[in-house]
Amino acid sequence: MKHNDYMRAAIEAAKHAEHTGGVAIGAVLVDENGEIVAAGGSVVGLAHDPTAHAEINAIRNASKRYESSDLYNLTLYSTLEPCHMCLSAAAWARIPRVYFGAYRKDVDESLFDILGDFSDEAEGGRMNLREKTHMKVQGGILENECAELLASYHDGPHHVEVLSPEPLT
């Protein structure tokens, strides 16, 4: 399999997440033999968990499968440029390669906006995983197809008014 094939698997995870009420963002982890070993979709609203991003869910699934937080021999594919939390989680899991489809700017220029010239591709090179091994981050794999998944993102109920909780007594 090639990069496009793995990204298509991430696209399927995104479609599954959307079909079940989540957001159309998907991720898969691939081992050194080319086998897809874990997948995840973005279910932040469904899970009432702000960390339930596609990449985090795929990392959680792989960690459970391997009973380890060290996922050094795996490669992460995500349909959207990872946010800072997800990129950091990949670094903490020691995932050395991250490939993504759409850039955040393809979906919404203000999405996870960072002042200055910031890119995951440059940031990954600064993340030291172990013994001078740096993360490789590359975007643009099936970029348009991945961006189309989120074309209607702003039309859905993804951002809701936060209600104040009942006071504690």
Q: Which of 55, 143, 145, 166 is catalytic?
A: 55
Strands 133-134 and 128-130: antiparallel
- The amino acid that residue 39 corresponds to is A
Tokens 């992460």, located at residue: 76
Cα atoms in the Cβ-side hemisphere of radius 13 Å centred on 70 = 2
Tell me how far apart the alpha carbons of residues 61 and 66 are, in angstroms, rounded to a whole number.
Answer: 9
Our measurement of the distance from residue 68's CA atom to the centroid of its chain's CA atoms, rounded to an integer in Å, reads 19
Length of the chain: 169
55 is catalytic: yes
Instruction: Tell me the C-alpha distance between 74 and 65, whole Å.
Output: 13
**Under 8 Å between Cβ of 54 and 42:** yes
Which residues are annotated as catalytic?
55
